[in-house]
Structure 1
Amino acid sequence: MNLRRMVVVAAFPVFLASCQDDASDDPAEPAVPQPSGSPVGDPVLPDFAPAPAVDVHTKNHGAGWQIEFSSVLVNVGEGEFRLVVDRPTVDDDWVVTQVITHSGGGIDEVPTDAEIEWGGDGHDHWHVRRVVTYRLVAIDGSGTPAPDGLTDAKVGFCIYDFGRELDDLGPDDPVFDRDGCQPEDALTLTMGLSSGWGDTYEWNLPGQSIDVTDLPDGPYRLWAEADESGHFVEATTDNNDTWVDLDLSTTDDGARTAVVAGVGPTPGESPRAD
């Protein structure tokens, strides 16, 4: 993978992430060929596994302090994750369908309740809402994370093959690209994530942050959870979350700092309960 841009700040080591840039000039043309035919054999399913956040650091945003972080969602399943999103006219609601291939050929088209949202983060294309949710929760004296906390404000995800994450899984070349997210007047979108590939977001993209201005010093866990609402079909949900543990503190001059104290499972690892 390659960085699309790098900005030097007082932070932890810089990771990779995806910039969701402008879409293609042809709003009616799907970004990738569509599979077809009646299903034969077993479904070949995708499997979401978010990576623990990296580049975690604090920043004064003028009205207070926030933590910023880079993230990546990986498909560790044998099958690709593919969404086809259609509407009859620009005045109609989107219909979001997950396309699942089968071992003997053919597809299933599975309706979903996933929501599609336009722009909102400076990127002029469509997004799928809340594909991954990031939540910061306090850790109590017994080491137990609280059930609730603060969530990120990310609009959504233009899902595509940004970088190869698992060398022994999936195609060598990307199948889905950013053009699948399409401009505002599009009638069809095609988004997806190939087996073994990841969709990566840098810390300096909109929404890759959580405000910590009013949080007290202490230990916290930054959760990353894929498909929190259960919109999509995948091989298992046992690996849909991971985390980074942080020590949040305040210096004598009022600056907030966050130091990584622990890291959860990475894509391809077996889930564990810490």
Structure 2
Amino acid sequence: MALADEEPMTSQLTSQPHRKGLQRAAFAAAAALTVVAVAGAAPGADAAPKRTPGVPELKLIAASKSVTLDRWEWEGESGVEVDLGTYLTVDNAPLEFKVTRTSYKDPVVAQQILRDGTKTKTKKLPAGLVNDFRGLPGFLEVSFTDASGAVIATSKGTFCPNNASGRLRPDAPATSHYPQSCPTNPFTLGSVWGVEQGWAANTSAVDYDKPVDLPVGEYTAKVSVAKKYRDLFGIPDDRPTIKVTVRDGDDGEEGGGAAGLRSAAAANGTHGAHDTHGAQGSHAAGQAAGHGAGHHYGPRGADAPVPPALSHALEDRGLAHHLGDGKGHTDGSRVAPALKANTKRPSGRASVPANVPKPDLRSLPAWDIMITDGEDGDVPGKDYLAFSANVWNAGPAPLVVDGFRSPGQDLMDAYQYFYDANGKQVGYTPTGTMEWDPRIGHEHWHFTDFASYRLLSADKTKEVRSGKEAFCLANTDAVDYTVKNANWHPYNTDLSTACGQQNSISVREVLDVGSGDTYTQYRPGQSFDITDLPNGTYYIEVLANPAKRLKETSLDNNVSLRKVVLGGTPGARTVSVPPYDLINAP
């Protein structure tokens, strides 16, 4: 396959704690993996074969000779989650991929990135091999046999390289600079996958939505990499065998084995959505842990525990005391009294320097669209149209919004902050308000000027507005990590998101470059009431920066529309959702 020269790619070298809730078992096995690797390097061994510079050497191994898995039953489903502790080891050079699509009318294109010192080459993977951003499909093949040698079940799994399971030896890089998960949002535009040289990635801890129906008993599992990938990447045809004991998960302690992981999936999941208890297991990026508030519920990910102290301090803000006049809040049309020209403060009057890098907010088409009868607090007997929506930041600068509170007020003055190419704060400007939301499932500070949702008639002349008008910003989805200045680890930076607590005096909310903020519409007031709407064609409009108070690179890409067709009768309404170009994600 021809190789094309390419300029070296720039990537962020920050790190963050691993946040993928369903991969705790992979970490538990990582220590055993390291011991196996070190023990295998016996003194006086034969010299290693000659290596090709820049080409990763890959090998499939098993950390343990035996594993115990729990058979679970959950909401009408049953089976075993297959994590056998098998890993793809990477040596000699990193294993790296750049995965992109030009638009939703174009197929996904995957390229392997080969690095040899300062030289970088690309190797395009065969067309059709990769169709989305979840990883390499059909990478791992597993067969289970019983004591008689009969094949009881088989399984194929997608391999997401972005799980940084463990190091092979002490001289390997101390941390992995690659992202921590593979995007599953259906409207993802670009991703980077990778495993550091001297690291290993778990090959089977990514397909928890595909359980294997194995009864309680003893089995032998044989694991291999699919031939098409062995041929493509030069992987030896190693086939580890592992003794598997399947036990009844109901007999184990809560939180142990696969049953415990499934429980974690139900509570936390791999993805990270906002303010919702709704199910959403088929999409998103796994980017939502680590906020100060700890109130992003549902199967897209739970946040880190609430910190015992006040919310994060604001770096380099140059402000003192509180802001505001005690009567209300800024609405983008005035400068807060504390920042007026005649007020002597080190930072002077708020301003936006010319040519300063700014964020570029873009809305994704709605998805996960369905009819519901409402949630707690909605009017009984009505029909609602629920959906998920995302606004993301294409950069080249993060969106940073700070809120400042007057004593005793449930509103904050909100300011947008700006930074130069070196990360130095160079300006700020009033941009709206933050409000305290006391409802269960929220209980944090919402920025009120981020996005809005409308259901438009077929001719776009009439509308139904969603009650969702305020947001706690978070990087829930990795929408495009190939854009300039994309931060592959958005939560381990100096601009960490913190949605605050009731006693917060100030908060900082951040939407980093490359990431988007998904809200699932399953909370009271967050869905469209369609009870009295006639059947027919409508459009769900997702609008970023509706009041145009946020300063952006461009305002021309803030609107997206998703066509829906309502049918049925009151109390039994239906919705059909045509594909959006090549994306069939209703």
**8 A Cα contact 1:24 1:183, kept in partner:** no
Matched, 1:15 2:15: no
| CA distance in 2: counterparts of 1:254 and 1:244, whole angstroms | 23
Which residue identity is paired with 2:460?
P
In the other structure, the counterpart of 2:424 is 106
1:92-150 C-alpha deviation (Å, 9 max, x unpaired) = 852211111123653333322412111154211110114111100111xxxx322x311
More helix by share: 2
| CA distance in 1: counterparts of 2:564 and 2:307, whole angstroms | 40
Deviation, 1:189, is 0.3
Deviation, 1:34, is 4.6
| CA distance in 2: counterparts of 1:157 and 1:250, whole angstroms | 33
Matched, 1:182 2:500: yes
Higher relative contact order (CA 8 A, sep 6+): 1
Q: Residues 265 and 72 of structure 1: is their aligned pair in 2 closer, same or farther, counting only changes over 3 Å?
A: farther
Counterparts of 1:20-99 in structure 2, within 5 Å, are: 23-30=306-313, 33-34=315-316, 42-61=355-374, 62-91=380-409, 94-99=412-417
Structure 2 residues not aligned, in runs of 5+? 1-182, 184-269, 289-295, 298-302, 319-345, 375-379
Structure 1 residues not aligned, in runs of 5+? 267-274
| Selected match of 2:453 from 106, 115, 134 | 134
Which structure has the bigger radius of gyration?
2
**8 A Cα contact 1:42 1:104, kept in partner:** no
| CA distance in 1: counterparts of 2:446 and 2:582, whole angstroms | 27
Q: What RMSD in Å do the two structures reach over aligned CA positions?
A: 3.2
Deviation, 1:23, is 4.9
Q: Residues 262 and 135 of structure 1: is their aligned pair in 2 closer, same or farther, counting only changes over 3 Å?
A: farther
Which residue identity is paired with 2:557?
N
| CA distance in 2: counterparts of 1:236 and 1:188, whole angstroms | 28
Which residue identity is paired with 2:578?
A
In the other structure, the counterpart of 2:477 is 163
Q: Residues 54 and 119 of structure 1: is their aligned pair in 2 closer, same or farther, counting only changes over 3 Å?
A: same
| CA distance in 2: counterparts of 1:101 and 1:134, whole angstroms | 30
**8 A Cα contact 1:40 1:104, kept in partner:** no
| CA distance in 2: counterparts of 1:4 and 1:116, whole angstroms | 22
| CA distance in 1: counterparts of 2:582 and 2:449, whole angstroms | 21
**8 A Cα contact 1:118 1:127, kept in partner:** yes
Q: Residues 162 and 127 of structure 1: is their aligned pair in 2 closer, same or farther, counting only changes over 3 Å?
A: same
Instruction: Give the TM-score of the pair, scaled to structure 1.
Output: 0.80
| CA distance in 1: counterparts of 2:518 and 2:399, whole angstroms | 15
Q: Residues 56 and 92 of structure 1: is their aligned pair in 2 closer, same or farther, counting only changes over 3 Å?
A: closer
**8 A Cα contact 2:370 2:575, kept in partner:** yes
| CA distance in 1: counterparts of 2:278 and 2:405, whole angstroms | 39
| CA distance in 1: counterparts of 2:566 and 2:503, whole angstroms | 44
Q: Residues 87 and 254 of structure 1: is their aligned pair in 2 closer, same or farther, counting only changes over 3 Å?
A: closer
Q: Residues 182 and 92 of structure 1: is their aligned pair in 2 closer, same or farther, counting only changes over 3 Å?
A: closer
| CA distance in 1: counterparts of 2:399 and 2:279, whole angstroms | 34
Deviation, 1:35, is 7.3
Return 110-119 or 242-251, whichever deviates more: 110-119
In the other structure, the counterpart of 1:233 is 551
Return 97-106 or 221-230, whichever deviates more: 97-106
Deviation, 1:65, is 0.3
Deviation, 1:40, is 8.7
Q: Residues 44 and 4 of structure 1: is their aligned pair in 2 closer, same or farther, counting only changes over 3 Å?
A: closer
Which residue identity is paired with 1:232?
L
1:176-233 C-alpha deviation (Å, 9 max, x unpaired) = 555x111011111000111101111223344431110000001101100001111110
**8 A Cα contact 2:382 2:571, kept in partner:** no
Deviation, 1:41, is 8.2
**8 A Cα contact 1:84 1:99, kept in partner:** yes
Instruction: Give the TM-score of the pair, scaled to structure 2.
Output: 0.40
Deviation, 1:59, is 1.2
Deviation, 1:69, is 0.4
Q: Residues 103 and 80 of structure 1: is their aligned pair in 2 closer, same or farther, counting only changes over 3 Å?
A: same
**8 A Cα contact 1:220 1:247, kept in partner:** yes
Match of 1:115, SS?
A: strand
Aligned residue pairs, count: 255
Match of 2:578, SS?
A: strand
Percent identity of equivalent pairs? 23
Counterparts of 1:184-263 in structure 2, within 5 Å, are: 184-251=502-569, 254-261=571-578, 263=580
| CA distance in 2: counterparts of 1:145 and 1:104, whole angstroms | 44
| Selected match of 1:149 from 463, 467, 473 | 463
| CA distance in 2: counterparts of 1:184 and 1:80, whole angstroms | 26
| CA distance in 1: counterparts of 2:581 and 2:466, whole angstroms | 19
| CA distance in 2: counterparts of 1:33 and 1:130, whole angstroms | 23
Deviation, 1:3, is 2.7
Structure 1 segments, 4+ long, off by >4 Å, are 4-9, 20-23, 32-41
**8 A Cα contact 1:40 1:105, kept in partner:** no
Deviation, 1:262, is 5.5
| CA distance in 1: counterparts of 2:545 and 2:393, whole angstroms | 12
**8 A Cα contact 1:118 1:184, kept in partner:** yes
